[in-house]
Copies of this chain bind each other. A is one copy, B any other.
């Protein structure tokens, strides 16, 4: 029994050690709870849940790329293109709506494939390959839509709606989060991503198909970005050509706040979720507190630094 307790305590400890920003998040929530009674209410927490979903889903996929020591700047644009094509599919092409989600996912995966091939086989640094995709994909979104919003299909709108009291975006986020965590930790694809990001030379010498791994993580990233785009469009019931502009920075930040290293080899889906929550909670809290929008930006920056700073501090204490 005592052994079990120790084991459990150890697990909590290692959970904390692995999910650093959690402390930052908890402190942040406590501070907000103290500052405003509006924060810790059911409806508001649901709001936060819905609001975090897009970035979280996007960042889940991105975590694979970052674990493999790459970076994917195209996720925001890919989200927009997926949403747009899936809307166009039913709108202008008048095709069956249920397929629109599949089409959107396929578009995301295809974009990821192109980025992955450019960097794995074309030997472009992932920063450049995905930057090129960022602008290409945004351009295509504008071309397809002629710069105008298109209403989404009912299936996509369903993604943004509520199932009884449960908002679909939260359901989608939880389900895809579990899938992402499973794939990252329990499958060969995930392990290989860690190996490639941790030491690409060792991975190659161990017979891991490094290029295929790189392509795969980008396809995963594209898939999740596509889904995130449809989630967002579903909430807005329309796909905007400017959808998710600049979201890549938030998604990368969520991943890094959650403990992933841009140098590769480190990253966790739970961490990424916490990172995304940190960002969403700050924004929500600042709105609740009616902080002036200029000062909001200042505060957001300070809080990001503090949230990650807590983590660093805590990790230092654990070590010695």
Contacts and interface: CB of A to CB of B under 8 A. Distances in A.
A79 to B, nearest CB: 16
Copies of the polypeptide in the assembly: 2
Nearest to A301: B136
A149 interface: no
A128 B298 contact: no
Nearest to A297: B139
Contacts of A131: 249, 253, 301, 304
A261 interface: yes
The A interface, classified by DSSP as helix, strand, loop or mixed, is: helix
B301 A135 contact: yes
Given A142-B294, A143-B298, A298-B135, A253 B305 contact: no
Interface string A284-310: 000000000111111111101100110
Given A73-B249, A131-B249, A249-B131, A301 B139 contact: yes
Interface stretch (A84-92, A119-127, A213-221): A119-127
29 contacts: A71-B262, A118-B305, A122-B309, A122-B312, A123-B309, A123-B312, A124-B305, A125-B256, A125-B261, A127-B256, A128-B257, A132-B304, A132-B305, A134-B301, A135-B297, A135-B298, A135-B300, A135-B301, A135-B304, A136-B301, A139-B295, A139-B296, A139-B298, A139-B299, A142-B297, A143-B298, A146-B294, A262-B262, A263-B263
